Amino acid sequence: QVQLVESGGGLVQPGGSLRLSCAASGRTFGYCMGWFRQAPGKEREYVAAIRWSGGTTRYADSVKGRFTISRDNAKNTVYLQMNSLKPEDTAVYYCKADSSWSRITTTDDGGYWGQGTQVTVSS
């Protein structure tokens, strides 16, 4: 079992920055980690993912160049640094852990999810 707790969300003005954290506990060794988001009335969508080693990352086109995913395995924590935020980035952001790299970017069954943290970008 893996437990995930997100934090760091809040209200920020357009163009601002936030850093989200996802603290993991349980059997996380070797797991890939990902971030997703879900805006009101929309499907949950993939944002970014990172392998256990941290050497490989991938991003949705909508956030490339603005968001950075990283992890600190000693602290069992994954981060999402979000810069140049836009109103369309407003959503609940979720952390996901999965043993499969091919599945980490999907909302398919399998893996573990946190409860989410709200990010609101508004002036």
Q: CA distances (Å), 97 to each of 27, 28, 67, 70, 82, in order?
A: 10, 8, 19, 14, 20
Q: What is the model's pLDDT at position 61? A: 97
Query: Could you report the per-residue pLDDT of 14-41, keeping only the tens digit for each?
Result: 999 999 999 999 988 889 999 999 999 9
Q: Residue 75: which H helix or E strand, with range?
A: none
Burial of 38 (0-12, 13-18, 19+ CB in 10 A): middle
Q: What is the model's pLDDT at position 108? A: 80
Maximal CA-CA distance, the chain: 41
Nearest residue to 79 via CA among 47, 38, 110, 105? 47
